[in-house]
Amino acid sequence: MTITTIQQKRALSSVWSSVNPVLLAGELGYEIDTKLLKIGDGEHNWNELDYFMQSLITRIQALEEQIAELSEAIEDIDKTASDEDIDAMLDDVFAGNEQLNDGEVDDDFNAMLDEVFGANP
């Protein structure tokens, strides 16, 4: 049995950037210092290509930031806060969300808030 080795193009990120080659469609280029990968399309230079999975990584980072902001807002909600205070905090958290911009929070959502934070007198 013969074992075949496939070796991808690899170099330091500074070398890739300075040489700035056009990778063939589907050809892989690996940065050995950053451990990042780009996949060629046969048209764009190295510096024009996105890193593999970069759009997903960017989306995940944005979601993590939004989750952190929401967590901070939830920590700020006190069980003794009035409905108006809670509504104001939610307006701040969801600013720009078209579904909530009308200022109305449906009964199910209010019931969920009551269950999580306790009913407000």
The per-residue pLDDT for range 33-82, each reduced to its tens digit, is 999 999 999 999 999 999 998 878 788 888 888 888 887 777 766 555 67
* pLDDT for position 103: 46
Q: What is the 3-state secondary structure (H, E, C) of the chain?
A: CCCCCCCCEEECHHHHHHHCCECCCCCEEEECCCCEEEECCCCCEHHHCCECCHHHHHHHHHHHHHHHHHHHHHHHCCCCCCHHHHHHHHHHHCCCCCCCCCCCCCHHHHHHHHHHHCCCC
Q: How confident is the model at residue 100 (pLDDT cuts 50, 70, 90)?
A: very low
**Least confident residue range of 16-25, 57-66, 91-100:** 91-100
pTM (2 d.p.): 0.48
* pLDDT for position 45: 97
Measured distance CA(68)–CA(66) in Å, rounded: 5
Comparison of pLDDT for 71 and 94, the residue scoring more: 71
Query: Can you tell me the mean pLDDT for 95-106?
Result: 51
